[in-house]
Amino acid sequence: MPPRRCVVQDCNRVSDYELGISMHTSPANGIIRLKWKRFVRQHRKDFNPKGSFGICSQHFTDDCFTRAVHVKGTKRWIKTGSIPTIWKYYTLTSDSLSELNHLWAQKDRILIKGGIVVNDDDMIEADVFIESGLIKEVGKNLVVPGGARVIDAQKKLVMPGGIDSHTHMQLPFMGTVAIDDFYSGTRAALAGGTTMIIDFVIPKKGESLLEAYETWRNWADEKVCCDYAFHVAVTWWNDEVGDEMETLVRDKGINSFKTFMAYKDVMMLSDEEIYHCYSKCKDIGAIAQVHAENGSLIAENAKKLIALGITGPEGHELCRTEEVETEACVRAITIANQVNCPLYIVHVMSKSSAQAICDARRRGCVVVGEPIAASLGTDGTTYWNKCWRHAAAHVMGPPLRPDPTTPGYLMDLLANGDLQLTGTDNCTFNADQKALGKNDFRKIPNGVNGVEDRMSVIWEKGVASGKMDPCRFVAVTSTTAAKIFNIYPRKGRIAVGSDADVIVWDPEATRVISAKTHHQAVDFNIFEGMECHGVTEVTICQGKVVYERGELNVVRGSGRFIPTPPYASYMYDQIIKRDETRKLVKVEREPYNGPVVNTGSSELPPVVSPSQRKQKFQEQKKSE
């Protein structure tokens, strides 16, 4: 075999020097980073004897595959400088490459031994063997290749990594940008046991959906530490938007589109526009999503409160009460049902809106409801807290509800299947950002944390409280999301062939949530002081241990974009059957040949407004 060329590259933009894998355009064009000091010392004579830091890239002209190796040490990739730019070439022998491949394969093997494997439909005692980023075997007393790392999971649960179906990392919103970006946000997610997020592309009114999608991809690809996908928001409507939706589904891996009934003059659509958007979703096999609040009522209520001198965070809840959420929820369900389009209602925050979803499902509507960690873990009494900062930190839309029984009620519905899955609506802003609304609650950036704490909060409020079992926990935190967005069983299951996104969960361990110890960038935590039973002990993402007993080992930009195909069976099986069996049929009948009343002039009398009528009366009075 001819010798390969090895490349040394200066790369100051890389800031995290841990294990990881970054796949950019295809499996054949990837960059793999791993620690391998011995190899570098053996084949790189100009290295520091202590094995300082460097990168080797192995180039295969036949399949365009790139393998890179680095070693921890300095804060820079090493730069040899024999060429004025950034490259210098070395020769690797076939023996060296064979040794590299062998060591890499060993590094890539993990055996999780002695745990209880939990899926949404069963729990079994089994070992799990992982290799090359996939689950290779599940069973007892597995015989696996040598060199595998063994993780002891005795008395622990082995579950699919969480899928957070609703996040907003580094979202530009209300005059600022969410403080948790795609790096800090996904890093925190992994610490909490979530191995995939589904974020939102939100174009401005008039902005191309495709251009916004590319902008968000550029933001995410260089930062994400876990796998991710996108929903795309539709904030304006014409035929061009419909065409771009079709392109996004066909070519860009998008299968869900979100509409807003709130945020008047910013993102809100009219009922007619929503009707056309949902019709398009149905035509292309996409899922319609909705932020359900009556934006017109919110705007008028807010004006009234400001006039009364109510400018603090309590005004946020008072102008968008439970009724405002529920009305929009019912209206969205009605519109979707009229066009036979599946509907996903994000951040269900109130009892009555949750009940509206339950009622619609019992009538046969294809609709799912997503309560979030915030609505399941806390309530809106905080808006009346005397500390403005504390109250403002909880401002989100729709707001948390002041009825303290709401979280328990929503958890009951989630546990018994009336609500289907959980997200977080993670969109975080620090105190100085929230302070944009210090004199007007309408200007407080809406958003709270949750991506790191969702799994523990739901275990505490659901499983530890006796409302749901571990199988249901897996369903609402991972599996149902994977099914809805058509990435199951690649995600959301511990099974042979599934992605090796796995957590080892200690159901007996406890932790106390606090902003002082969380991994997010935000300076406040809405679950501050909550003691949670159930803690992530190990997180494995893409077959790599990225979190273990409090220590993170992530690589910036290592996450992959996961396309979500259209026509998810979980949402579309019923829809397709209804199209087949409920076709509209014209009634064939004899034409009517009888008399038709003569209505006289076809011109309608002019409409006179009360003010015009009053003005006319005053003019007549003056003429007298």
What would the pLDDT profile of 47-73 be if each residue is shown by its tens digit? 333 333 333 333 322 222 233 333 333
| For residue 142, pLDDT beyond 70 | yes
**Residue 599: what residue type?**
T
How far is the CA of 511 from the CAs of 231, 518, 534, in angstroms?
32, 11, 8
Among the ranges given (8-12, 461-465, 618-622), the one the predictor scored with the smallest mean pLDDT: 8-12
Measured CA to CA, the distance from residue 219 to residue 557 in angstroms comes to 10
| For residue 204, pLDDT beyond 50 | yes
35 pLDDT band, cuts 50/70/90, is very low
Q: What per-residue confidence (pLDDT) applies to 83?
A: 26
457 pLDDT band, cuts 50/70/90, is very high
Instruction: Locate 244 and state its tokens.
Output: 């771009």
Measured CA to CA, the distance from residue 78 to residue 561 in angstroms comes to 29
| For residue 470, pLDDT beyond 60 | yes
Secondary structure element (H or E) that encloses residue 264, with its range: none
Q: How far is CA 515 from the centre of its chain?
A: 22
Q: What per-residue confidence (pLDDT) applies to 616?
A: 82
Pairing, β 227-233 against β 194-201: parallel
Instruction: Locate 68 and state its tokens.
Output: 């890179």
- The answer to whether 525 and 453 have CB atoms below 8 angstroms apart is yes
pLDDT in tens, 296-323: 999 999 999 999 999 999 999 999 999 9
- Report for 81-90, 208-217, 607-616: range of highest mean pLDDT: 208-217
| For residue 162, pLDDT beyond 80 | yes
* 3-state SS, residue 58: strand
Q: Phi and psi dihedrals of 553, rounded to 5?
A: -140, 75
| For residue 15, pLDDT beyond 50 | no
Q: How many CB atoms lie within 10 A of CB 376?
A: 25
| For residue 6, pLDDT beyond 70 | no
* 3-state SS, residue 257: strand
The verdict on whether omega for the bond into residue 507 sits within 30 degrees of 0, i.e. cis, is no
- The answer to whether 182 and 223 have CB atoms below 8 angstroms apart is yes
Q: Phi and psi dihedrals of 600, rounded to 5?
A: 75, -140
Measured CA to CA, the distance from residue 312 to residue 393 in angstroms comes to 12
Q: What per-residue confidence (pLDDT) applies to 73?
A: 38
Q: What per-residue confidence (pLDDT) applies to 62?
A: 27
Measured CA to CA, the distance from residue 128 to residue 159 in angstroms comes to 11
Q: What per-residue confidence (pLDDT) applies to 314?
A: 98
Q: What per-residue confidence (pLDDT) applies to 510?
A: 97
Among the ranges given (100-109, 177-186, 259-268, 565-574), the one the predictor scored with the smallest mean pLDDT: 100-109
101 pLDDT band, cuts 50/70/90, is low
pLDDT in tens, 501-541: 999 999 999 999 999 999 999 999 999 999 999 999 999 99
* 3-state SS, residue 577: helix
Q: What per-residue confidence (pLDDT) applies to 104?
A: 54
Q: What is the mean pLDDT of residues 486-491?
A: 98
31 pLDDT band, cuts 50/70/90, is very low
pLDDT in tens, 596-610: 998 876 676 778 788
